[in-house]
Amino acid sequence: MPGAVMHLGASVTCAHGGPATPTAPYTRVTLGGRPVVTVAAPYTIAYCNLPPAAAALRCSAGQWLAGSTRVFAGGRALVLDSSPSLCVPNGAAMVVLECQARVTAA
């Protein structure tokens, strides 16, 4: 499924609103001066907004499950704004709030 290519600086959260940041963007390819993100880069999630009663289930990390099928960086698929994801430990999805829209891939 085609979509906009994700980059470092795109606004991503867990399903509960906790900000998510890639730990290892691919720095050799940039969009607007910012490195792209491949499916190999795990995300860290800070401040998941689950209530205190569910503290053990708060999102702490996230991973994109699939990415582009035709465009690669360093041999790895690029993350698209339409890519499926999974958060640990509760299985919620990550949500793309804002992303660059000039570069798309399939």
* Structural domain boundaries in the chain: 3-48+59-105
Report phi then psi at 29, rounded to 5: -125, 125
Distance of CA 38 to the CA centre of its chain: 9
Inform me whether the pLDDT recorded for 88 exceeds 80: yes
Write out the CATH class of domain 3-48+59-105: mainly beta
How large is the average pLDDT for residues 11-32? 97
**How much is the pLDDT for 3?**
97
Inform me whether the pLDDT recorded for 1 exceeds 90: no
**How much is the pLDDT for 8?**
97
Inform me whether the pLDDT recorded for 85 exceeds 80: yes
Helices (H), the chain: none
**Burial of residue 56, with CB atoms counted within 10 A of its CB: 0-12 exposed, 13-18 middle, 19 or more buried:** exposed
Enter the pTM of the model.
Answer: 0.92
